[in-house]
Structure 1
C-alpha cells in the first residue's frame, strides 16, 4: 500500500509540476518527444554503424571518425560544449589507459539550465565498440552502442527544440558520449574520477543508454519492454519518477530481472552508469538485453527495430525532462550502510 501511495503522489506531481514556473504541460512535452522519429534514428545509425567507422575501437582511426561525427552533429544543432566554445572533446591521455590503448576522447555537449544551472542531469551513452576482428570483419556495433548513441543525439535535439521555443529546462542537461567502455569503462571513469566538468556534488542523476534497439529471446512475443537496472538502488524518488513517466505515457513492461543484487551477469557494474553510482549519484541503466549478435560483426543496423528504438528514446527524454524540471532535486535516500 505504501508503494502504491508513493507512485500515486509521484504521478500527481507529473501532471501538476509542469504548470509551475512556465514549465510545459504534458501535451506540450509530447510535442517535443514526437520530434524523436524512427526515420531519423535510422538515418543516423546507418551512418554511425557503417563500415566507414571501422568498429569504433577506442583510440583507433574509426573511433576518431566517430567523435568527429558527434561533434559535427552538435555543431549543426547549435548545442554548445560545456568545455569551451567549439571544443567538444574531453581529451583522455594514453597514460590513463592500459594495455597499449591510444589516447581517446569523450564528447560533451550541454544545455544550460534556466533556474538551477549549476545542477546537472547527465544522459550518457558509450561511443566506442570493439573494432575489427582478426579475420578483417568489421564489428559495427549497431545496437552496442550505436543505438544509445543516436538516441542521445535525438534526445539532445528534442531538448534544443524546446529551448528554441522558449522552454529551457530548469537544470542543466549534459549529453555525455564516453569512450573506452568496451575496454573497461575508461571514459566514464575519467569523467568521474579525474575531470568532472560539472562537480559530482551538483550532479543530480545519470541516465545511461547502452543497447536499446533490439529484442532478446525472452521478450520475442511481447516486444514492448525494456530492462531497467539501478533505478531504485540510490533514490526511491528516481525509481518512482521513472515508473510514473512510463505509466503516464507508455505503459511498457519494465523488466527488473537484472536489477537483482544477486544477478550473476552483474550488468549493474558493467556499463558507464556505475562510475556515477559508485559516487552516490542516482542512475538508471536502460538495456534491451543481449542477443545472438552481441559483440559480433552481425550487430548491424538492418537488425535494429526502429519503432522500438523510437519509443524507448522518447521514454528516456520524458524521464530526463521530468528530473531536470522538478522543483527540488531528487533525494538520495537508499544508500547502503
Structure 2
C-alpha cells in the first residue's frame, strides 16, 4: 500500500511539473530569451542549409525536399508542435497549383499556441527555396537569399520555446511559416493565404524575413542598419511598436528607403509578406538590401555577417514578442 502511495505521489508530482501553470508574461526577462539567438547557432545552421548538399533548394526538386526535412527535423528536435498535428509539418502544395510547371512542393509550418488569445495568430515567415542549379551544374546556395531568414526563424522559434518551457507562454499564438516557391512568384505564400491553416481574419500580423545576413554597398561604412518595408502601410500601431522595440533593445538605424511608394525596386511587392498585406494583414518586411552576390552562385555562407544577423533576428523576436503579448490586438487603420 505504501509503495502504491509513493508511486502515485511521484506520478502526481511529474504531472504537476508537466502542466505547470503559466507565469505572468510581464515577469519574463525577454532579453534572456533573445540572447539565445546566437551567431554561432545561426552559422551552424546556415553552413548546412546553404551547402551544396541542398542543391540550391529549387522548388519541387530533391534539394528543396531535403531542406524541408531539415526544418521539420529541427522543429521536432526542439519539441515545437505542428499546427497540422502529429509529425506532419508540411502544408502540401500540388503541382496543379503551379500550373504543372513545377513538381509538388510544401510549406513547412510549426506552432506555439497562445495562452489567452490562442485564436489570434502572429505569423513569422521566410521563404526557404532558392533558384537551384544552372545548366553547367553551378549551385546557387542562397545563403543570404533566403537561408538567412530561414535559419533566423529557427532561432526565433527556439527562443519562444525556451520561454514557454520556463512557463512564459505567449498570449497569442505564433505560426512559424517557411514558404516554398517564392523565387517562382511568391507561390508558397500565395497558396497559404488561399488555403490558410488559420483564418486570415484571425491573423494579427506577418513579420517576414528575406535576406538579413549581409551589408549592402550603401551601408559599408555604417553596418548598424536594417531596411524595414511595409510597417506603416496598414497599422500605425505596428509601425510605432516596431520603432519602440528597436529603441529599447537593438538600436539599429531603421532605413525606410525602400518603403517609399515611389521606390523603383518595388520591394514591398516582391516578397511573401505582400500576399498577407493584400488581405489587410499588417506586415513588416526585414531586409538587408541587395549586393553583388544576389542570385549568383557566390551567395555562400562564408560571406554572412553572423553577429549582425543575430542582432537583426533578435529585433524580429522582440517585435513578435511585443505583438504577441500586448493587451489589445493591433488595429488596422489604413486600407490596402
TM-score category, normalised to shorter length:
over 0.9
Please give the alpha-carbon distance, in whole angstroms, between the structure 2 residues aligned to 1:219 and 1:307: 16
Q: Partner residue of 1:164?
A: 165
How many angstroms apart in 2 are the aligned matches of 1:77 and 1:113?
A: 18
**Matching of residue 334 in structure 1 with residue 334 in structure 2:** yes
**Long gaps (5+) in structure 2:** 1-22
Counterparts of residues 117-156 of structure 1 (less than 5 Å): 117-156=118-157
TM-score (norm 2): 0.92
Aligned match of 2:294: 294
2:154 and 2:134 map into 1 onto residues whose CA distance is 28
CA distance in 2: counterparts of 1:252 and 1:177, whole angstroms: 25
Give me the whole-angstrom Cα distance separating, in 1, the residues matched to 2:146 and 2:252.
22
* Displacement of 1:24: 3.4
What's 1:24 paired with? 26
Matched, 1:277 2:281: no
Per the alignment, in what secondary structure is the counterpart of residue 188 of structure 2?
helix
- Tell me the SS of whatever aligns to 2:182: coil
User: How many Å apart are 1:98 and its aligned residue?
Assistant: 3.3
Separation in 1, partners of 2:205, 2:219: 28
* 1:271-323 Cα distance to aligned partner (Å, 9 max, x none): 00000000000000000000000000000000000010110000000000000
Equivalent residue runs for 1:1-337 within 5 Å: 22-25=24-27, 28-98=29-99, 100-193=101-194, 195-336=195-336
Using the TM superposition, give the Cα deviation of residue 335 of structure 1 relative to its aligned residue in structure 2, in angstroms.
1.3
Count of aligned pairs:
314
CA-CA distance at 1:71 after TM superposition: 0.3
Larger radius of gyration: 2
By how many angstroms is 1:125 displaced?
0.3
Provide the rounded CA distance (Å) in 1 between the counterparts of 2:285 and 2:156. 16
SS at match of 1:125: strand
Cα shift at 1:100? 1.9
- How far apart in 2 are the matches of 1:292 and 1:180? 23
For the residue of structure 2 that corresponds to 1:24, the secondary structure is: helix
User: Structure 1 CA distance, aligned partners of 2:274 and 2:32?
Assistant: 32
Distance 1:286 1:119 in 2: 22
Cα offset, 1:268, TM superposition: 0.4
Alignment partners' CA distance in 1, 2:26 and 2:149: 26
Matched position secondary structure for 2:129: coil
Q: Residue 333 of structure 2 aligns to a residue in which SS? A: coil
- Report how far residue 25 of structure 1 moved: 4.8
- Please give the alpha-carbon distance, in whole angstroms, between the structure 2 residues aligned to 1:232 and 1:155: 23
Whole-Å separation in 2 of the counterparts to 1:191 and 1:59: 16
CA distance in 2, matches of 1:320, 1:332: 17
Corresponding position of 1:9? none
The alignment partner of 2:25 has SS state of: coil
RMSD of aligned Cα (Å): 0.9
State the shift of 1:23 in Å: 1.3
Give the TM-score taking structure 1 as reference length.
Answer: 0.92
Point out where structure 1 has 5 or more consecutive residues left out of the alignment.
Answer: 1-20
The secondary structure found in structure 2 opposite 1:123 is strand
Give 1:197 deviation, angstroms.
0.3
